[in-house]
Every structure is written in structure tokens, then in C-alpha cells.
Amino acid sequence: MSSAEKAFWETKSLDQMSDQEWESLCDGCARCCLHKLEDEDTAEIVFTRVACQLLDTQSCRCADYDNRFATVPDCLTIKPLDAQKLSWLPDTCAYRRLSEGKQLMSWHPLISGCTNTVLEAGVSMSGQCISETYVPITEYDQHIIEWFD
């Protein structure tokens, strides 16, 4: 791509993107697949290391992406994106960043040209999370994590 040409994410809004363009924005970090807890008093959202049962915790890919809503009815669909859904996405998420008028991170595969840069940047949850099948919901608060991005 020449410097005069702009990438689709620089010329289109999220709503204008094709399904293929939309899906390509996912960096594969799997942070959206982690269970989150919301403080009832402050509405603060915190992430846990507890992942959806369908997440392959090594590859950070959904084991049944096309049928995920049949198995996990409360799976977060972020298209269309709204303010409520944005609050459940990490600051590094391409969907959130673009909706906030920010650029993609330098390690994003669409920028770097390599999917490994997400892992190299320490953003990927590969090997850092545990399936919800192993953690009772009453213990999710014992798995709270903080991002240092």
C-alpha cells in the first residue's frame, strides 16, 4: 500500500465496514472472552483470568465461533458496537480504539503484518487464562487481573 492509500480502518467507520473487514480488526488477544466483574456501586469493570468455556486458552481462538451463541447464549456480540459494549472491551481492543478515534496499536496484526506481535507485546491471553469449566463462579473474584498496557 502506498503512502497515498489509506487502510480501510482509516477511511471507514466501524458501521461502514464489511463483515470481513470487521473480523480482521480482531487481534486475537482473547481479552473479550474473559469474564468480567462489575462493581455494583461504582460500575467499574474488572477483568478476570477466567475465560469462556469455548476459548482455546493456548491459541486464543473460539473452538466453535460460528455456533458460539448456541452454546454460550450470553456471549458478547460487539457488532453493532455501543457504549455499554465498549465498556466491556479492553483499552487495547481495535474496535474500542477506532470508536474512540484512536489508531491501531503498533503490534496489531494489520499494522505489523504478523499475528505473533500480539503475543510478543504481552497482550495475548495465550497461556494466561483458565477455562470457566475449572473455576466456580463464586471464585471469579480470586482471578481478577490488571492490565499494564
In a domain, 4, yes or no: no
In a domain, 88, yes or no: yes
* pLDDT of 148: 67
Report DSSP letters for 22-71, one per residue. Answer: HHHT--S--GGGEEEEE-TTT--EEEEEEE-TTEETTTTEETTGGGHHHH
pLDDT 10s digits, 1-48: 554 689 999 999 999 999 999 999 999 999 999 999 999 999 888 999
User: For the chain, percent helix, then strand, then coil, each to nearest 5?
Assistant: 35, 15, 50
Mean pLDDT across 56-79: 92
pLDDT 10s digits, 86-145: 888 999 999 999 999 999 999 999 999 999 999 999 999 999 999 999 999 999 999 999
Give the chain's domain count: 1
Residue range of the domain that includes 27: 14-145
In a domain, 26, yes or no: yes
In a domain, 2, yes or no: no
Cβ neighbours for 60, distance < 8 A, ≥ 6 positions apart: 28, 29, 30, 33, 124, 125, 126
